[in-house]
Structures are given as C-alpha cells and as structure tokens.
Amino acid sequence: MRLTKTIAIIILSVFCFASSAQVVDKIIAKVDNYILLKSDLEKAYLEIISGGQQPDQCRLIESLLISKMLAAKAEIDSVVVSQDEVDSNLDRRLQYFVNQVGSEEAIELYYGKTLEQFKIELEENIKEQLTSQKMEGEITDNISVSPAEVRKFFKDIPTDSLPYFSTEVKVGQIVKTPEVSKSQKDQTIQKLNGLRQQIIAGEDFNVLAKKFSMDPSVVQNGGELGFQRRGILAPEFEAMAFNLEQGDISPPFETDFGIHILQLIERRGNSFNSRHILMIPQPLESDIERAIGFLDSLRNLIILDSIGFAKAAKEHSDDQATSSNGGFYQDANGSSRVPVDQLDPVIFFTVDTMKLGSITKPLRYRMDDGSEAARIFFYEQKLAPHQANLKDDYQKIYGAALNQKKATVMEKWFLKARDDVYVEIDPEFDQCNIMNRIN
C-alpha cells in the first residue's frame, strides 16, 4: 500500500509537468524576475491531495509565493548555491524518478518531452528551491528555544488538542558504499587520457563531453561550467583550473564526484570559465563483496559489545544523512523515533520481521543515484500509540516550538522583504488577499 502511494505521487507529479507542457500556461504572480505559473499551483495541489490531504488554495499560493520571494531576495543579498549542489540534487532526483516510475522512457511518456528537455526544466526548479532553502537558512539557522520555552509551548496547548502519536520505532543503519578498486580507477584514467589526446589532436571538446561525460549538466552545456568564482567548485577542481594556462587541458584528476579532465577557457582574477569531462569509476562485484565483509565484521563487534552501534555508525557509515545521528533515522522534528507509516516501505518490511535489539546481516540495496551499496539495520526501540507528553515526546515538542519561533521570525522578515521586491498577483487570485496574509 505504501509503495503504491509513493508511485502515485511521482506519476501525478510528472503527469502535471506533461499537462503544463501541452496547454497554454498562465502567469498568476511575479516576484521580481521570478514567476509563479498556474501549472506550478496545479502540480503542488496534486502532490498534496496524493498524500491524502485537502489543500487550502490560498495558503498554497501563499507558500509558493513566499518561496519566490526568498529566491528573489537571495539574488539581491548575493546568497547563491553552487552548480555542484544543483547537479548533485538533479542527479539524485532523476534517479529517484526512474527508480519509482520504472524507466527513462516512462518519464518521457508522462512528461511529453525528451529526457534532456525534462532535465533542463527540472534543473531550473531545483536551483530555485535550493536557493530559497538557503536564504531561509540564512534567516533562521541561529534560532533556538530553551527548555523553559518548550515547557511553556506545551503547557499552552489545550489538553483536548494534544496530538495522538501512532506506533513509533527507533531504527538505525550503517551503510557501506563499495570502494572502487585501483584497477577500475586506472581504466577510467586511461579512457580520459585517450579523450585528452583526441582533443589535443583537434576533436571538439563539447562533442566528446556530450558523448562521454557523466555530469548531468552536460546535456545543456556541453561540459562548459561558465564563470565560477573561487570557493564554489570542488577544491581539487579549482586548484587544477588555477594552475592551467588558457586553453590548456589538464591530465586526469580526482574529486569527490569522480575523475575529470579540465580545459581552462578563461580566467578573470578570482573567477574562471572552464569545461570538463567527468567519468565515475564503477565498483566490481568483488568491491561490493568487500563492503559486505566489512559490515559483517562490524556487526559482530557490535553484538559482542566491543563497540556501540552509534559510535560504529558515526565512524564507519557512508550515509551522511544518518551517520551524524548515530545511524538513526529522524522525523521532521529531529526525533529519533519515527512513525512506522513514515518509514520507507523497504525499511518498514525489514523492521517488521526483526526482534527488538537485533541487527540484520548485511543487506545489498540500490541507492537513490542507482549505485549499489550494503547496509545493516539496528532495531532499538518501539513505542506504542500514545497521547503527546513531555517525557516521551520532548524532541517532537521541541521541534514544534522551534518551528513556531522560526515562523514568527519569518513573518517579520517578509514584512520587511516585500518592500525590497516587486510583487504582482493576477486579479483572478486576488480574492485570496495574499499580500495581506503574508503581512
């Protein structure tokens, strides 16, 4: 049931993109250079009802408009996200779509455009989303609430309005991604050296980049990254670029993203324009088996109490999203107890077969980017359904109090920020009185 719902959300989301591509769209609001389309509203509406909720249209428009305001204000305040962040997010999002819908062809069918066209439009949306999130972070990241504020927040909730929490579990994981063997890296370096020689001999860099590069942005830029100032791209990439003369092509070099060759197009002070070809060495079956063997040994140490699970996760897990929390999943409020209906279906069905306190043997799985890895699960705790209380649910109540405080700060920010940007709303939606709602 959970899996069916997830796929439905993805298909509806993609279908809405297709619909907007096939009919004449309409601008319903403008915030400086950012526009809100009717299709954006329809897509957001479909995503909410697919989750079983009934959205308030005015509040939905307000939320979308606020996101545009954040992006517009970020442009004024020079708050930017790097192209690497955008590319990484785009790659994960595309792979997630493919994994859920079934194939790239299915995406093209629902979208009504080629996968390359889909990527270009999706990249624009991702960049705007990341910029809005970063701008909001600049405003709210230093906000906190004290224990006294949490207690007051909880005390102010009427008894008959206290939430009732469903079954919750505390589940952790330790992930090990296979380390690519030296032989695979050497083969990749050899291929890139071959491409480098072809370019030196007169082959078109952009043509070869589109044919061989594994950087998702190559579809629209032919490997050319545009002018980037120092501190935006990977340190190894920048170091190589600043050591080249204009027109030079680097030997293969490695970053966290893979192995590159780079051509410096132009340098202006602390900024430079370059093009590159990226190849990502793929692990062999023997590399995956080594990762499984490592996890099996680590599991035995945990079972023998030679090392605690949380310590092992922090020191050895390759999943950054959970390792900093001792390997444990968290809900939206930062609590390590997660409602079972919010767990990924694969994790839910795995935990459903486990005993409390047990650790699975290493399990192979495919990550969001399509690559293969291995992981072990630890099922530490289960809490029966209950009404919210400070003892059992402090982290959730803390999160709610913090969100309320952040919302107050954001309201004050919007009141000031709206004077810095141009806002125009289509009369058809003026009945929502959006600007007064924001104030």
CATH number at residue 37: 1.10.4030
**pTM (2 d.p.):** 0.60
On whether both 408 and 380 belong to a single domain, the answer is no
3-state secondary structure of 329: coil
* 28 domain-assigned: yes
Statement: residue 5 has pLDDT above 70 = no
Using pLDDT thresholds of 50, 70 and 90, give the confidence band for residue 436: low
Pairing state of beta strands 372-383 and 168-176?
antiparallel
DSSP state of 366: E
* 415 domain-assigned: yes
3-state secondary structure of 237: helix
- Residue that is last in its domain, among 258, 279, 300: 279
Find out whether 282 and 187 touch, Cβ atoms under 8 Å. no
On whether both 249 and 294 belong to a single domain, the answer is no
Angle between helix 205-212 and 182-200 (nearest 10): 150
Q: How far apart are CA 323 and CA 326, in angstroms?
A: 5
Distances (CA, A) of 213 to 121, 260, 421: 20, 9, 39
Using pLDDT thresholds of 50, 70 and 90, give the confidence band for residue 155: very high
CA 14 to chain centre: 18
Average of per-residue pLDDT across 393-406: 91
pLDDT confidence of residue 15: 39
Pairing state of beta strands 271-279 and 258-268?
antiparallel
Statement: residue 142 has pLDDT above 70 = yes
- Residue that is last in its domain, among 234, 249, 279: 279
On whether both 175 and 309 belong to a single domain, the answer is yes
* 10 domain-assigned: yes
Q: What are the pLDDT digits (tens) for 191-223?
A: 999 999 999 999 999 999 999 998 877 877 888
* 251 domain-assigned: yes
On whether both 35 and 125 belong to a single domain, the answer is yes
Statement: residue 337 has pLDDT above 70 = yes
Q: How far apart are CA 163 and CA 401, in angstroms?
A: 14
* 156 domain-assigned: no
Domain harbouring 375, CATH code: 3.10.50.40
Enumerate residues 6+ apart whose C-beta is below 8 A from 434.
29, 58, 61, 62, 65, 425
On whether both 64 and 115 belong to a single domain, the answer is yes
Question: 103-116: buried (b, 16+ CB within 10 Å) or exposed (e) per residue?
Answer: eeebbbebbbbebe
On whether both 33 and 125 belong to a single domain, the answer is yes
On whether both 224 and 356 belong to a single domain, the answer is no
Enumerate residues 6+ apart whose C-beta is below 8 A from 407.
none
Q: What is the identity of the amino acid at 260?
A: H
Bigger pLDDT: 283 or 4? 283
Q: How far apart are CA 224 and CA 262, in angstroms?
A: 10
* 62 domain-assigned: yes
3-state secondary structure of 308: coil
Within 13 Å of residue 294, how many CA atoms lie on the same side as its CB? 21
3-state secondary structure of 86: helix
Q: What are the pLDDT digits (tens) for 64-75?
A: 888 898 999 998
Q: Which of 52, 170, 151 is nearest to 400 (CA)?
A: 151
On whether both 247 and 312 belong to a single domain, the answer is no
On whether both 296 and 425 belong to a single domain, the answer is no
On whether both 170 and 297 belong to a single domain, the answer is yes
- Residue that is last in its domain, among 222, 246, 279: 279
3-state secondary structure of 184: helix
Average of per-residue pLDDT across 285-307: 95
Length of the chain, in residues: 439
Find out whether 197 and 75 touch, Cβ atoms under 8 Å. no
* 34 domain-assigned: yes
pLDDT confidence of residue 13: 41
Average of per-residue pLDDT across 345-368: 92
Find out whether 250 and 261 touch, Cβ atoms under 8 Å. yes
- Give the percent of the chain with pLDDT over 90: 47
Q: How far apart are CA 259 and CA 277, in angstroms?
A: 8
Using pLDDT thresholds of 50, 70 and 90, give the confidence band for residue 111: confident
Average pLDDT, the chain: 86
Q: What are the pLDDT digits (tens) for 112-121?
A: 777 777 778 8
The structural domain count of the chain equals: 3
Residue 189: give the domain boundaries: 182-279
pLDDT confidence of residue 82: 86
On whether both 114 and 95 belong to a single domain, the answer is yes
Statement: residue 387 has pLDDT above 70 = yes
* 320 domain-assigned: yes
On whether both 131 and 245 belong to a single domain, the answer is no
Find out whether 69 and 62 touch, Cβ atoms under 8 Å. no
Enumerate residues 6+ apart whose C-beta is below 8 A from 82.
228, 232, 233
Statement: residue 362 has pLDDT above 80 = yes
